[in-house]
Structure 1
C-alpha cells in the first residue's frame, strides 16, 4: 500500500471535522452505553436485538432477496417457529449446530433461531469440500447440522466421516421456502415444514442469553493449514452491531444495507447485518457478488448503504463507465480493504459520501472504524492499542534489552497489538492452545496482556491508522484469507512434488495477494504435467486458494533453523529476471494449464491484459 504524506491527519483537518464531531457525540455516548454491557444478568445479543428491532419497525422490510421481501415481524415469527421446534428436538443453550447454507434468507433465519435458543451456529464456509469440510465440522463437535439443498452434494460426500445423526440432519430446500418448503431427501428432516406449526411467539430463552454466551463460531485460516474456529460471543455482537450500526453509520428504519459478501464471514454477518438490525433497517442480500448487476440491485432495493471488501470495489471500478454510475441512493458504505489507490476514484465515480472503512479481526478483540470520514484510513479505535517493532523474517515482535517491546513512531509501520482487559476481552478460539499462541505477556510492563493481530498498520495521527499488510502464514485474495500451510499440504499430496512453499505475491492493480508456490519436483521438471497439476489443485482447494504462479526449484533453500526463506521468495515474486535458473509458470485466466512466464507474458500481466 503506497503511503502518501497527505494521508497524515493534521490539526487543520481535525478542526474542519468539528461540526461533524459535535453532531456525532450524543450518538457515540448512547452507543457506548449499549456497547459496554457488563451486567451478567442483562439480556443481550442477536436474538434480543432482533426482537427490539421488530418492536421498533414491525412492518418495515428486514430481509430482501430477488422477489422475496420479508418484514421484521415475518422474519421474527419465522425464526421463532424454528426456535420452538428445535427446542422440542432437544437443542438448547450452548449446543453447537453446524450451518451450511449459501447467502439467502433461510441462512439468516436459521442463525437467528439458534441465537434465540442460546445455541451456537458454526458457520461453515460454503466453498469447502472434502478434508477441510470434515475438519471444520469435527473441530466443533456439533450436535446437529442444517444443510441447504445447494450444498447437499458437498455434505453427502463427507457425511460418513462426521458423526451427526440423521434425525439431527436438517434440510432446507433451495427455493423460497416461506411459500414452498420443498421435500427433504431420505436421511434428512425438512426443517421448514417440520417447524411450520410451531409457536411464532418470542421464546423465553432469548431473554436468557447474556454477554458472555457464545453466538457463532466463525472460521479463520489456521497457520497449521486447516481452519480454526473463532468464538464470537453475544457481548461482542452488541459491541459490533452498535459500533458500526449506531455510532459509525447512524442507521435508521428507512435505510437499506445491500450486502453481497459471504455471510459466513464477520464482515457480512456481524458488520453489515448487525448494522441493519441495530437501525431496524432493511438487509438486501445476493447469493454471489455480480459486478454487472450490482448497481441495478442497489436501485431495485433502494439501498442507502453497501457492504464491501476491497476486491469488490475494484471489480466495480473495472466495469465500463455508465451514465447511471452515480444514479442511486447510496450515501455510505462499510467494509474493509479499500486501497488508497482506488479510494478517490471509487468515491468520485460512484458519488458515495462516506467510506466507512473498518478493521476488525473476527478472532480478535479490537475494531477500528472511519467514523469521521477521512480518506485512506481504517479510522480510530476506542480500545487500547499499540504498534510495535517486529522481525521482518519471523514476523514476531522484538523485545529490547529490558525485555519489553518497542513502540514505533508516527508514520512508521508496526505490528498491531491490542490490550486485553475487561473492556476488550479476547473470546479466542475453541482450542485454548491456539488462543494461548496469540496472547503476549509483559509487553510494556509486568502483567499486561496483548492480542497479537499479526497485522501491520501505520499510525497517521490523531489515533487514526492505515492498514499496511498481514504478516505470517496467511494472505488475502478475493476477499478470503488463504492459509499457506493448507496449500502446501495439498501440493505435497501430489506424487510428482516433494517440497512446496506457498506465499502471496502482489500483482499490479489488484487487491490482496495472489497465490504462488515454489515447488521441487520428485523427479524432474520434465515429468510435471502442468494441466494435470492444475486440475489436481482445483479439485481439492477452494477456487481462491489455487496458486496462480509456480516457481520450480531444483532445491529449496532454508534458514539455519530449516525454515523456508519465504521473505526472499515473496520479494522475487513471479519475475523470471529475479528468479535465476528457476522457471516461473502462470495459470492465466480462462486457461486450463500453467504456462511458462516469458518476458512477454510478464509484461502482459503488468499491463493488466489478464483480469485476475
Structure 2
C-alpha cells in the first residue's frame, strides 16, 4: 500500500470543511452521542426506533421484495411479538437465540426483543453441527426463535441444545419451495400466536440503559470455537450517533440496500442504525447476488448501500455496462474496500462518498470516514494507540521501563483502545478470554487497553489505514475464520494426521484465502481429496473450508513453546515449494486438484476466481 500519498495534511483537512458545514449540527449531535456515559438515560435500539416512528410514522421503514412496512406498521408488528414474549414469561435480561435468514420476520423479532430488554443471540445461519451446538448453549437462552429455513439444521442437534422443548418458537418462511409450512412438533408458531397480542409500545423501553445487553454477536476470536460478544444498548446508541448522524447522514427519503447478514454487526448495527437515525428506509435482501444487485438498487430507488470489501470486488468484476453510473446511489457504508479498488469503484458507479469504517463486535475503538478521504478507515474521536509490534515474537515491543512504544506516523503497529468509562470493554461470556484481550501497564502503571489484534497505520490527524489482522483469525468472503476451529475439523478427517491453518493473500481479492498445511497418513497419490472436500463442506461454513492445501510429509515446524510457525507459511503463500505439492479447491469442482503452474498463473491474474 502506497501510504505516503494517502497521508492527510492540514490543507487537505481544511479543504473538506466547507462540504461539512451543512452537516455540522448532526456531526456535533452524533459526536456527543458517541461519547455518552450517563447510565440512567434511556438509550438503545428500541429508543432509537421509537423516535423514528414519532418523527416519520408514515415513512417506509422496511422493504423486502414486493412487501413494505411503514415505521408505524413495523412498530405495531414488533410490539405484538414483544407482548407475546412477555406473556410467556420472558423478562429484561433474558437471552433469546435467533436463527433466521435476512427477511422481514427477522427484523420484527430483533426489534421485539430490544423493546423488552431481551438479549438477542444472533446465531450464524451458516453454522451446523457441533459449532452450532456450542454457539447456542454458550449463551444459555431462555427461548429460541427458529426460521423454517433452519429447522432441519436445528433438528439435527435438538437433543444437545440446553433449552426446554416449550422454549422453541417457529417462524414460517413463505419462500420455501412448497410455501410456508405449519409449525413442526415442539415449536410454537410465533407470528400466528402473537397476532392477537397488544400493539402498544412496552413501557420497558424507558428502562433500558447504556449497559443493558442488546445482542450477542459471535466472533471467531483468535483461538477455538466462536465466542459470544456482548453488544449492549450503549454501543448501539453510540453507533447510531457516530455512524448514522455524524458520518452516513441519510435523509428521510433515502433508502439503504443491505445484503449483509444481520448476524454481523455491519448489517445489524452500522447499516440499520444509519437508517433509523434518519427515519429512512431499509431495503433488505435475503442474500447478496451480483446479477440482482443493481436491479434491486434501481427498482427500489436506493440512495445508499452497505458493503464489505468482497462485495465491491464482485460488483467491479462484472464487465462494464454503459449505465453503470446511472443509479441513484450517492453514499456507501462498510469496511474492507481495498485501496487499489477504491477510486475506480467510485468513478465507475458514480459514488459520491465512501463511509469506510473500522470497528469490531467486541472492541472499544472505532474509526469512521467522516471527512470523506480516500483509502482510510477514517477518524476516531476516542483515545487509541498504535504501538510497535514484533511479528517474530508475536507481541508488542516494550522499552526498558516495561512500557510500550507508539509507532511513528506511516509505520504499521498494533492498534489498542484505552479502556475507560467512556470507552469500556464489555468483554465476552468467558471471563478468562476477556482478560486475555487486555494489556495492562501499557504507558503507565495501572492503565488498561483492549488488544484489537489488528495492525493499523497512522496517516495523520487521527486518521488510520487498516493493514492486517494478527493471530489465528483471518477474514475471507467477509467472514472471520478461526484457524483453530478449522484445524480441529481437519484433524478429524480420515487420513489426516496433522494440520496447521492460516490465511494467504490472493491478488485481486480482499482478506485472505484459507490454506492448510497437512500431513497425511498415506502418500498424496493414494489420498482421497474428493472425500476430504465433502467432509470439510459438511462440517464447516463454505467460507471456512480451506481453499489451498500444502502437503507436508514431515513433522510440522514448531516454536520452542510448540506453536506452529505460521509466519513462514504465510510468506510462502500458495506457491509450491521444493518437494511439496499444493492442492486447490476451485468453484465448480467436487474435490481438491493439484495446483499446476498454469492454474497458479490464472489465479494470480484473476482469470480463475476462488
Q: Which band: TM-score by shorter chain? A: over 0.9
Write out per-residue CA displacement over residues 491-525 of structure 1, whole angstroms, 9 at most, x where no aligned residue.
10013111100000011111110000000112433
Give the Cα separation in 1 of the matches to 2:198 and 2:160. 35
Give the Cα separation in 2 of the matches to 1:563 and 1:446. 31
Give the Cα separation in 1 of the matches to 2:76 and 2:557. 61
Q: What's the counterpart of residue 596 of structure 1?
A: 594
Unaligned runs of 5+ in 1: none
The alignment partner of 1:157 has SS state of helix
Write out per-residue CA displacement over residues 123-150 of structure 1, whole angstroms, 9 at most, x where no aligned residue.
0000000010000001001111000000
Contact 1:181 1:192 in 2 (8 A): no
Distance 1:595 1:361, change over 3 A: same
Give the Cα separation in 1 of the matches to 2:397 and 2:35. 33
Q: What's the counterpart of residue 215 of structure 1?
A: 214
Normalising by structure 1, we get a TM-score of 0.97
Does residue 520 of structure 1 match 2:519?
yes
Q: Greater shift after overlay, 182-191 or 49-58?
A: 182-191
Shift of 1:327: 1.3
Does residue 13 of structure 1 match 2:32?
no
Shift of 1:182: 5.5
Q: What's the counterpart of residue 480 of structure 1?
A: 479
Q: What's the counterpart of residue 409 of structure 2?
A: 410
Contact 2:3 2:459 in 1 (8 A): no
Give the Cα separation in 2 of the matches to 1:5 and 1:462. 14
Q: Greater shift after overlay, 209-218 or 518-527?
A: 518-527
Shift of 1:120: 0.3
Shift of 1:419: 0.6
Contact 2:355 2:368 in 1 (8 A): yes
**1:153-552 correspondence to structure 2 within 5 Å:** 153-175=152-174, 183-552=182-551
Give the Cα separation in 2 of the matches to 1:306 and 1:223. 30
The alignment partner of 2:390 has SS state of coil
Q: What's the counterpart of residue 64 of structure 1?
A: 63
Write out per-residue CA displacement over residues 287-332 of structure 1, whole angstroms, 9 at most, x where no aligned residue.
1101111111111111111100000000000112112211111111
Shift of 1:563: 1.4
Shift of 1:36: 3.5
Shift of 1:394: 4.3
Distance 1:394 1:225, change over 3 A: farther
Contact 1:496 1:527 in 2 (8 A): no
Q: What's the counterpart of residue 45 of structure 1?
A: 44
The alignment partner of 2:395 has SS state of coil
Q: What's the counterpart of residue 559 of structure 1?
A: 559
Shift of 1:155: 0.7
Contact 2:3 2:410 in 1 (8 A): no
Q: Greater shift after overlay, 522-531 or 293-302?
A: 522-531
Shift of 1:4: 4.1
Contact 1:125 1:264 in 2 (8 A): yes
Q: What's the counterpart of residue 97 of structure 1?
A: 96
The alignment partner of 2:381 has SS state of coil
Give the Cα separation in 2 of the matches to 1:387 and 1:38. 25
Shift of 1:12: 2.4
Give the Cα separation in 2 of the matches to 1:242 and 1:560. 48
Shift of 1:600: 2.0
4+ runs of 1 displaced by more than 4 Å?
none
Give the Cα separation in 2 of the matches to 1:510 and 1:572. 17
Give the Cα separation in 1 of the matches to 2:221 and 2:111. 27
Give the Cα separation in 2 of the matches to 1:182 and 1:560. 57
Shift of 1:11: 2.3
Shift of 1:423: 1.1
Normalising by structure 2, we get a TM-score of 0.98
Shift of 1:228: 0.2
Shift of 1:44: 1.2
Contact 1:589 1:610 in 2 (8 A): no
Q: What's the counterpart of residue 573 of structure 1?
A: 573
| Aligned residue pair count | 607
What's the C-alpha RMSD, in Å, of the aligned pairs?
A: 1.4
Give the Cα separation in 2 of the matches to 1:4 and 1:226. 35
The alignment partner of 1:293 has SS state of helix
Distance 1:36 1:602, change over 3 A: closer
Contact 1:181 1:193 in 2 (8 A): no
